[in-house]
Structure 1
Amino acid sequence: MSDQPRRSRPAGKPYRRPQKDPVRLLAFEALRAVDERDAYANLVLPPLLRKAREGGTFDTRDAALATELVYGTLRRQGTYDAIIAACVDRPLREVDPPVLDVLALGAHQLLGTRIPTHAAVSASVDLARVVLGDGRAKFVNAVLRKISRQDLDAWVAEVAPPYDEDPEDHLAVVHSHPRWVVSALWDSLGGGREGIEDLLAADNERPEVTLVARPGRATPDELLREEAAVPGRWSPYAVRLTEGG
């Protein structure tokens, strides 16, 4: 029996087991449900978060990150698909949907959050190893490294068709809306670039959570102690959470 290792590894590159990140695993599970079952994210995500909290694997920050990953990825899916398409050597329809979900999650972390680049790529590749296997994890790694070379604005400028040549497709990519939605909204507004762009941009805004201080149960001042809490616009009993929720 030989004393030599059965498999040699390059010097300086020790094997590292992929980390099972419960936050990203949950986000991936939610995206797969949306894709496979045409499920609504707002119906799929809450029970997944509740189960994770009850199991003791999630705290408030974990839940907030998982929520941002799911909703943020879906909100900008059209834009991310166009960017991913520019970084792969085949049509997107030939890429397995679970691989696309991991790539979209990674793209959102790189282009739509403040997660550092190395952490976004590393966490996404670890997720790919866990849910897709080593072979496809290498593909995910290569694509995300290409995506990480530019910020979102630079990518959009590169992948969106020029407005003068195809205004509806340009707006669809820039604002991540299906072309038919852009066309329908534009018809409803009666034309005009400024109006449609304002509407599409507003439609992509992250919704805020509004809390109500019920008399006898809580006061607005107590609710305003929450992080990122500001007074409501229309009622003295309302408090808005500008982040999290």
Structure 2
Amino acid sequence: MTPPAQRRRPPVRGKSFKGSPRPISDPPRAVALEVLRGVDERDSYANLLLATVLERTGLQGRDAAFATELSAGTLRMRGLYDAVLATLVGRPLADLDPAVLDVLRLGSHQILSMRVPSHAAVSTSVDLVRATVGPRPAGLVNAVLRKVAARDLDAWVGQVVPEGADRLERLAVRHSHPRWIVDGLDAALGSDGAADELPALLAADNTVGAATLVARPGLAEPAELLVDGARPGVLSPWAVRLDGGNPADVPAVRERRAGVQDEGSQVVALLLAETPITGPDARWLDLCAGPGGKAALLGALAAQRDASLVANEVQPHRAELVRQAVAHLPSVAVTVEDGRTPSWQPGTFDRVLVDAPCTGLGALRRRPEARWRRKPEDLHGLVRLQRELLLSALDSVRAGGIVVYATCSPLVEETREVVEHAAAQRPVRLQRPAELPADARLAGDYLQLWPHRHDTDAMFAAVLRRLPE
């Protein structure tokens, strides 16, 4: 589904939201609006911007939780809300001041998806638009949101689904995903013989996943992360899941002996470290290491086996994040190179990880704005880059060594098709990932995790063993 407001870039009319014309007496809603404007105007990452704004404003506790749900929830469901608003506004959504449109989206989320009384959602939205844009659009916001409140969410879905829509279009509207993404996820599940799971997957994309911690081997034990409300992970022995609370309150996290890392990402690192190889096992490579989470886990595992890790990242600012993540691990060297044309000699490494740049559509629970930021045409350039990086990784590993190719996307163009292309270009053998749940495997010996099955990001991984020429 392409939401109406996405068909062309909205012109800025009136005041752009860069600060309040007058003081705002409702900080949580003002924070949520600032996040939405940052995502729209500067392509900010919502989670990073939210953390910055919460720290600046000093919001804590229930106010911070409200601002978090309001901003993230509105971003998730924006496509559905835009479809609803398009029937009520009386003009193309692209003709609205972008800040006014975001206020309408925030109000719609409170009315249709949060336990906020309709009258409160309407009145606070009117106050918010007065404070941030001015008095002129207040009447429009009041009238439109009163109409939104006349139906519940299910009734609105029935109202806005296009007449004659097929099954996938109905799911795209109901679960607020662009149609091209729904098509891609349907194909990925279908290749696993699980196309009937698509509604569950789309619903899972719209939930909030529990924060997952990783104890870094040799520096922390999972047991010390089991604070109140925590439970052991399922797929990684180093994982602990928090059902509530702030990860920064855990001492080991503050001391960087542990970190926050999705369990699916931990599994990818463990695949590289634990797949058996013969011969030397002293030199490991993380080819696309930024921002450093997998490199920190791999570096800790390598140190326990007297191995060293090269953590490479092409972007200098991301390489600095890697340095910060591995600062406590002397066995890790950080390099800044284009992974497609590295300076090291072929066959230098025993184990290589390629966590390739991708659409990120496997992490929509944590990055809800990605579904609106990505476009189908992004795939062409990404797939070309992924193919080049995987071939470079296969050239960097010695015969008998392994390469793990991973993406945080389940789309077949970015996953199996990239691996199949590499297998036709280099002497490799695909190896079945060991000791993982049976429902995490696809036919063809690939690993595919799913949020609705495993409560992780939709991580893909393939283990390729390099064969002699």
TM-score class, shorter? 0.7 to 0.9
The structure where helix makes up a greater share of residues is 1
Give the structure 2 partner of residue 45 of structure 1.
50
Give the structure 1 partner of residue 460 of structure 2.
none
Across the aligned residues of Structure 1 and Structure 2, the Cα RMSD in angstroms comes to 2.8
Match of residue 33, structure 1, among 29, 38, 44: 38
The structure where strand makes up a greater share of residues is 2
Shift of 1:241: 1.6
Shift of 1:198: 1.8
Give the structure 1 partner of residue 200 of structure 2.
198
1:58-69 equivalences under 5 Å are: 58-69=59-70
The change in CA–CA distance for 1:198 and 1:93 in structure 2 (over 3 A counts) is: same
Give the structure 2 partner of residue 97 of structure 1.
98
For 2:114 and 2:245, locate their aligned partners in 1 and report how far apart those are by CA, in whole Å.
Answer: 13
Instruction: Give me the identity figure in percent.
Output: 49
Give the structure 2 partner of residue 167 of structure 1.
167
The change in CA–CA distance for 1:180 and 1:41 in structure 2 (over 3 A counts) is: same
For 1:108 and 1:186, locate their aligned partners in 2 and report how far apart those are by CA, in whole Å.
Answer: 27
Give the structure 1 partner of residue 134 of structure 2.
133
For 1:22 and 1:187, locate their aligned partners in 2 and report how far apart those are by CA, in whole Å.
Answer: 43
Q: Write the deviation string for residues 126-171 of structure 1: whole angstroms up to 9, x where unpaired.
A: 1011012112011001000000111111111111235x63333222
Q: Which one-letter code corresponds to 2:116 in the other structure?
A: I
Give the structure 2 partner of residue 240 of structure 1.
242
Q: Write the deviation string for residues 40-79 of structure 1: whole angstroms up to 9, x where unpaired.
A: 11221111111112xxxx2221111111111000011111
The 3-state SS of whatever aligns with 2:100 is: helix
For 1:81 and 1:107, locate their aligned partners in 2 and report how far apart those are by CA, in whole Å.
Answer: 9
The change in CA–CA distance for 1:190 and 1:128 in structure 2 (over 3 A counts) is: same
Kindly name which structure, 1 or 2, has the bigger radius of gyration based on alpha carbons.
2
The change in CA–CA distance for 1:64 and 1:182 in structure 2 (over 3 A counts) is: same
Q: Which one-letter code corresponds to 2:188 in the other structure?
A: S
The 3-state SS of whatever aligns with 1:190 is: helix
The 3-state SS of whatever aligns with 2:90 is: coil
Give the structure 2 partner of residue 113 of structure 1.
114
Is 1:152 matched up with 2:153? yes
For 2:94 and 2:155, locate their aligned partners in 1 and report how far apart those are by CA, in whole Å.
Answer: 24
Shift of 1:111: 0.9
Higher relative contact order (CA closer than 8 Å, sequence separation 6+): 1
TM-score by length of 2: 0.43
For 2:240 and 2:68, locate their aligned partners in 1 and report how far apart those are by CA, in whole Å.
Answer: 23
Give the structure 2 partner of residue 123 of structure 1.
124
Residue ranges of structure 2 left out of the alignment (5+ in a row)? 1-21, 248-469
Give the structure 1 partner of residue 181 of structure 2.
181
Does structure 1 retain, via aligned residues, the 8 Å contact 2:28–2:63?
Answer: yes
Q: Which one-letter code corresponds to 1:205 in the other structure?
A: T
Q: Which one-letter code corresponds to 2:212 in the other structure?
A: T
Does structure 1 retain, via aligned residues, the 8 Å contact 2:221–2:238?
Answer: no
The 3-state SS of whatever aligns with 2:87 is: helix
The 3-state SS of whatever aligns with 2:115 is: coil
Give the structure 2 partner of residue 86 of structure 1.
87
Q: Which one-letter code corresponds to 1:111 in the other structure?
A: L
Q: Which one-letter code corresponds to 1:41 in the other structure?
A: A
Moved over 6 A (4+): none
The 3-state SS of whatever aligns with 2:84 is: helix
The change in CA–CA distance for 1:185 and 1:211 in structure 2 (over 3 A counts) is: closer
